[in-house]
């Protein structure tokens, strides 16, 4: 990702939501070892967790922090996003120096002071107690190459720079700028910014398996999800499997019960015509409804399946591979949601790639 960016642009690793389910502390430590010292999180608690575990560098809170918790910003050396003008005024009234980045709403209509409220933006920059170290926006359709979405993204970018120019013409120094998230980098790498906020691509995945981008990069998935076979049983034709009796065996079958379910983050609706897992290097279809703690698979034609065997929910087994993007698409969601919902009771085992330095 860094190789397609201007040399002056720094990498801001987005490690919110437990680093998209990968484990925020472990991921951030590895990034520190790789020379990354700028991070983005969603909440104060996420930032505090990183600091308590020795993560070095700048940590930007992208979301709202309640006024009662503002003292923790200084205590843990965190940077707060100014979510709008009224929030800036509240921070200013505290009367203490607070490190911030200013968010500009250019059309996402989530957080940020509107690009059209120039007087409010100037007033934010005029706050004496706010140490403004950055200004940024978020692109709502950067993942799409449809002409209408590209036009809207260009409009957002134009709105952002127009607001910056007006702030600058009023005599205020413009701090470090960041616009792009993962797809902003992949589709608009030419933007001259000081940071890029890389999220899902950092973990070697796209949001959708069919996504096309202007720039092609070799993304390697960081996460594989595996579980154990807890039981193997034979059932006669005509018997039903799992809740609701929706799946009925059309022939005598061998069923393996796998110790993972929707409480672990696997979507309950992951079962459709392509709902599969890998075992012994073969694809095995999921049968019956996914339960809270278990799911069942058809291993009738896969020899030697036994209790304790490893099942790959997504990842690689032999020459076969199921990607997180495919599982997400089968579940009518995006990879970002799928991986960030991985439950805490799944043990995370970290293995450094042999080519990693």
- The Cα 353–Cα 220 span in angstroms is 11
Angle between helices 118-125 and 85-94 (to 10 degrees): 20
Q: Are residues 147 and 75 in the same domain?
A: yes
Q: Are residues 281 and 165 in the same domain?
A: no
- Specify whether the CB–CB gap between 219 and 206 falls below 8 A: yes
Q: Are residues 155 and 273 in the same domain?
A: no
Q: Are residues 262 and 334 in the same domain?
A: yes
110 known member of a binding site? yes
Domain membership flag for residue 212: no
Q: Are residues 154 and 238 in the same domain?
A: no
Question: What is the mean pLDDT of each successive set of 10 residues along the chain, which is 357 residues long?
Answer: 88 97 97 97 98 98 97 98 98 97 98 98 98 98 96 98 98 98 95 96 94 90 97 97 94 97 90 78 95 96 97 96 93 95 94 68
Residue-level pLDDT at 67: 95
Q: Are residues 320 and 193 in the same domain?
A: no
- CATH number, domain of 42, equals 3.20.20.10
Q: Are residues 42 and 134 in the same domain?
A: yes
**Residue with the two structure tokens 């209408």:** 148
**Residue with the two structure tokens 């940077």:** 79
Q: Are residues 238 and 158 in the same domain?
A: no
Residues recorded for the chain: 357
- CATH number, domain of 268, equals 2.40.37.10
Cβ-in-10-Å burial (0-12, 13-18, 19+) of 236 comes to exposed
Domain membership flag for residue 345: no
Residue-level pLDDT at 238: 97
- The Cα 335–Cα 314 span in angstroms is 12
Domain membership flag for residue 219: no
Residue-level pLDDT at 274: 65
Domain membership flag for residue 356: no
How many domains is the chain partitioned into structurally? 2
* Residue in 257, 192, 227 with CA at minimum distance from that of residue 342: 227
Q: Are residues 271 and 174 in the same domain?
A: no
- Specify whether the CB–CB gap between 227 and 258 falls below 8 A: yes
Q: Are residues 184 and 277 in the same domain?
A: no
What residues are annotated to the active site? 16, 243
Domain membership flag for residue 213: no
Alpha helices, H only, the chain: 16-20, 24-33, 44-52, 71-75, 85-94, 118-125, 147-169, 182-187, 324-330, 335-340
Q: Are residues 151 and 193 in the same domain?
A: yes
Q: Are residues 136 and 73 in the same domain?
A: yes
Residue-level pLDDT at 218: 87
The values of phi and psi at residue 173, to 5°, are -75, 135
- The Cα 88–Cα 93 span in angstroms is 9
Residue-level pLDDT at 355: 59
User: Where in the sequence is the domain holding 144, given as residue range(s)?
Assistant: 2-203
Task: Output the CA torsion 314→315→319→320 (10° steps).
Answer: 10
């Amino acid at each position: 990702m860094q190789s397609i960016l201007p040399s002056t642009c720094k990498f801001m690793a987005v490690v919110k939501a437990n680093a998209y389910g990968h484990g925020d502390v472990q991921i951030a430590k590895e990034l520190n070892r790789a020379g990354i010292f700028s991070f983005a999180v969603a909440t104060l608690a996420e930032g505090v967790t990183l600091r308590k575990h020795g993560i070095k560098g700048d940590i930007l809170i992208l979301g709202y922090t309640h006024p009662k918790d503002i003292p923790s910003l200084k205590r843990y050396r965190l940077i707060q996003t100014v979510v709008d003008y009224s929030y800036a005024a509240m921070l200013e009234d505290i009367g203490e120096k607070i490190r911030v980045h200013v968010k500009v709403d250019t059309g996402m209509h989530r957080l940020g002071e509107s690009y059209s409220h120039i007087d409010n933006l100037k007033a934010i920059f005029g706050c004496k107690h706010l140490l403004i170290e950055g200004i940024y926006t978020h692109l709502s359709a950067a993942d799409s190459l449809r002409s209408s979405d590209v036009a809207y993204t260009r409009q957002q970018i134009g709105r952002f720079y127009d607001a910056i120019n007006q702030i600058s013409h009023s005599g205020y120094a413009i701090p470090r700028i960041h616009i792009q998230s993962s797809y902003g980098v992949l589709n608009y790498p030419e933007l001259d910014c000081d940071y890029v906020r890389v999220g899902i691509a950092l973990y070697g995945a796209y949001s959708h398996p069919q996504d096309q981008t202007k720039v092609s990069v070799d993304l390697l998935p960081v996460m594989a999800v595996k579980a154990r076979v807890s039981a193997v049983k034979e059932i006669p034709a005509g018997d039903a499997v799992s809740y609701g009796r929706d799946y009925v065996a059309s022939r005598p079958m061998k069923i393996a019960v796998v110790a993972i379910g929707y409480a672990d983050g696997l979507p309950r609706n992951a079962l459709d015509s392509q709902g599969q897992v890998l075992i012994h290097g073969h694809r095995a279809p999921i049968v019956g409804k996914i339960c809270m703690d278990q799911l069942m698979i058809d291993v009738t034609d896969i020899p030697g399946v036994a209790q304790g065997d490893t099942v790959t929910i997504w990842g690689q087994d032999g020459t076969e591979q199921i990607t997180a993007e495919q599982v997400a698409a089968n579940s009518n969601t995006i990879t970002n949601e799928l991986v960030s919902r991985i439950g805490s009771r799944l043990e995370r085992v970290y293995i450094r790639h042999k080519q990693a330095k």
